[in-house]
Structure 1
Amino acid sequence: MALTISHSAHASMLAISRDTAPNEACGLLFGNSSHIETCVPTANVAPDRTRHFEIDPAALVAAHRAARDGSGPDVIGYFHSHPNGLARPSAIDAASAASDGRIWAIVASEAITCWCDGPDGFEPLSYVVAQG
């Protein structure tokens, strides 16, 4: 799958992750299956935010509800950071995955990698940052 990320979404994920360290940042990705248009940070409600992330369930439910009723954009995936790790899914990420085809963007060391959460686990996605 060819994926593009808007310049603003790419820059925001990096900035949010830097600003949240040493805790893990997390949030929602909006757009369509081939383009991440925006990212919106959410509260990380995990008990140990330095090692794990859990998107605020209220924010997640509200975003999906708005997408369903047409008042909000489509939720195409999630992003989070690994402040002390690699920009790839961890064992905890794999255990938490829903295998629903959504995009996961993972930020670490000023790098972003993207993954499709498919039925057979995470598949890497290549992307380009759209200028403008």
Structure 2
Amino acid sequence: MRPVYTLHRTALAEIIRATRQAAPEEACGLLFGADRQIHSAVATANVADDPLRHFEIDPVRLIAAHRAARAGGLGIVGYFHSHPNGLAQPSATDQASAAGDGRVWAIVARGRITLWKDAPSGFEPLSYDTVEG
């Protein structure tokens, strides 16, 4: 059985907002929480050379988020990005750039959001429930 994550509606709303705002480019951002709980999402600039086809989270924002987590803030659970013209599953590019670090990737496409664990052996699908918060 796949691990069940909890995605708070405020995080879900931010992911959807960021995806709509970035279109037709890929949106991207950070997921914060702990213990299979995704409490919040924060959109970041997509600094990829070709943001219509790829994403790269702004490294300045990523480093700042790691520092905030070390100072007692919520930890980085993972990342989100959109596939404006694709499927809500890891692309070949996603698989090639994955670190295998166990973080969660939320992928948005055509109004659908899926969660994936970036496992050392490749992406594994995750199930989730949404809750208020």
CA deviation profile, 1:14-37 (whole Å, cap 9, x unmatched): 121011100000000000131110
Match of 2:127 in 1: 126
Q: Percent identity?
A: 60
Match of 2:37 in 1: 35
* TM-score, normalised relative to structure 2: 0.95
Q: How does 1:11-90 map to 2 (within 5 A)?
A: 11-70=13-72, 72-90=73-91
* TM-score, normalised relative to structure 1: 0.96
The one-letter code sitting in structure 1 at the alignment partner of 2:116 is W
The one-letter code sitting in structure 2 at the alignment partner of 1:92 is T
CA deviation profile, 1:24-73 (whole Å, cap 9, x unmatched): 00000000131110000000000100000000001001101111122x21
Give the aligned CA root-mean-square deviation in angstroms: 0.9
Give distance in 2, aligned partners of 1:16 and 1:57. 18
Give distance in 2, aligned partners of 1:61 and 1:53. 17
* Superposed structure 1 runs of 4+ greater than 6 Å apart: none
Q: Matched residue of 1:93: which SS?
A: helix
Which consecutive residues of structure 2, in runs of 5 or more, have no partner in the other structure?
none
Q: Matched residue of 2:45: which SS?
A: coil
Which consecutive residues of structure 1, in runs of 5 or more, have no partner in the other structure?
none
CA deviation profile, 1:71-126 (whole Å, cap 9, x unmatched): x2101100000001000000100111110000000001111000000111000001
Give distance in 1, aligned partners of 2:23 and 2:92. 20
